[in-house]
Structure 1
């Protein structure tokens, strides 16, 4: 067996059929099928159960897949180390970006990174679902991804995680709201809101399946015994703030996305929930100096633009 066969088998498991796996690997379905049969003959065991539409790994197949992924990760680690000692720095890296945070940071950091590494190409994919970024990163399709999480430990133990910054989740109300009329214009909240005081209000919030909703907003409203009335959902925090600024609803967004203090009054949420920004990469993958330097640049930017300390508990 060789590493190329291992790549084929891992792709078959990922895409569950020969046709899709062959497309991703730029070979014919017959070629990948022949490689699978050859490997099964060599190992004298069946690695996949074939159905009309999909392939599923057998017990032996699962053992082989785990080992294959380890070998492929070791190969990537070796290539990274070799690249570190090369004089000419070049290459292509695939990076996943969280909506808003990831793309905003990338736009600020990339010009400086490009000056240092003009021969390096970064191919970025902006994804709404963290689960999709986890899958693509764990499989090695992405070299690393910048993600958001409601936990300081990151989104999953299936990947390696490096924390970058954290911030508060804030609730904003139009200045016409009874709770906001007398509050001073301030870039920082001055109090923690009682959700029971806004139990009849409507909000513009993130998508129902988003990390912010699933891990922070929805559980918090449930804990407080208050129903969240949703007027509109969006993945764009600036859009949510703009809607609330018009006076038709409130909103809940990360503190780094707050820009309008004149038309909106901002409050800390009960329990002072935190929102975490970090980078994930495949387990067993060694980050080379190029990726490490990019992460350091992101950290420097995040300290200036994304980090907001937790307030002292009342």
Structure 2
């Protein structure tokens, strides 16, 4: 039995007329009649009661019609799903993100994917840049949102956006009460909260460039990975912290964010294992290049 036998049978069952069914199938009537006879012989059942004036389904034919439709629907759905997977429109994408990406970038990506790639499920996991690099190299995640530059021959990256740094101060700090931006050198005698270098060298180096530009070595009294943690430590009076501008989405009592008088920036990138050829990764990167990256540049 072949699928065409089921298609021919269903068409005759719907028309109850071999001539009309043949016309819809764009074949002549004799071959159609022969195909139905072959199907009946193969199954050893009678699907139609035929007379010179009419064609009727047998009870057996009615049962076979119901099952045949289900079989063809299942096959059609399987073909559509397979084609969707091949186009990268169906599947699961493991997306890692870190730090400030959660505040504005990640929600934008999720909303855009839900709208334009509704059959892709995003499996989100929060990792530092260093953790993302290892996970990408080991193919445990598909795409990462991290801070570049990174050093890995296994990973490709593409710039997503640049983001300025701001300084988070206690609201009682003298600089917090001043109007306008501040000069980094004015922070030389402060106690600092810093992310550990192990969390991501690109992010760590970008902050250190601010200190180097201002000409001082920071007095680091506490390290912390997460933006919420660092800002909370500022509110508790532990020290001050330099953070990406999107961290200003965190609103806590007792803190103030201040701009610098110079454009200190970090680079956010998308990253993926260069050997990963999964269609869903290709579709996601295409969406990032066409929608998300232009939005932030």
Match of 1:170 among 166, 173, 176: 166
Aligned partner of 1:141 in structure 2 is 140
Match of 1:125 in 2: 125
Report if aligned partners of 2:87, 2:283 keep a CA contact under 8 Å in 1: no
TM-score, with length taken from structure 1:
0.54
User: Residues 117, 223 of structure 1: CA spacing in aligned structure 2 closer, same or farther, 3 A cutoff?
Assistant: closer
How many Å separate the matches in 2 of 1:252 and 1:169?
7
Q: Which runs of 5+ in 1 are unaligned?
A: 1-81, 308-314
The 2-side partners of 1:249 and 1:176 are apart by 12
Contact 2:130–2:198 under 8 Å retained in 1: no
Residues 273-284 of structure 1 aligned to structure 2 (within 5 Å): 273-284=264-275
**How far did 1:193 drift?**
2.3
CA distance in 1, matches of 2:192, 2:137: 35
**Structure 2 residues not aligned, in runs of 5+:** 1-81
In the TM superposition, residue 163 of structure 1 has moved relative to its aligned partner by 0.7
1:179 equivalent in structure 2: 175
Alignment root-mean-square deviation, CA: 3.6
Task: Write the distance in 2 (CA, Å) between the matches of 1:216 and 1:93.
Answer: 29
1:264 equivalent in structure 2: 256
For residues 89 and 272 of structure 2, what CA distance do their matches in structure 1 show?
21
Residue 203 of structure 1: aligned partner: 192
Larger radius of gyration: 2
Q: Which residue of 2 aligns with 1:292?
A: 286
Matches of 1:238 and 1:87, distance apart in 2: 38
Aligned pairs, how many?
Answer: 210
- Distance in 2, matches of 1:252 and 1:295, equals 29
Matches within 5 A, 1:1-314: 89-102=89-102, 105-128=105-128, 130-149=129-148, 151=149, 156-181=152-177, 183-184=178-179, 190-194=181-185, 197-211=186-200, 214-218=204-208, 220-221=210-211, 224=214, 226-245=216-235, 247-259=237-249, 263-264=255-256, 266-268=258-260, 272-286=263-277, 287-293=281-287, 296-299=290-293, 303=296
Q: 2:65 is matched with which residue?
A: none
Contact 1:205 1:253 survives alignment (8 Å): no
Which residue matches 2:50? none
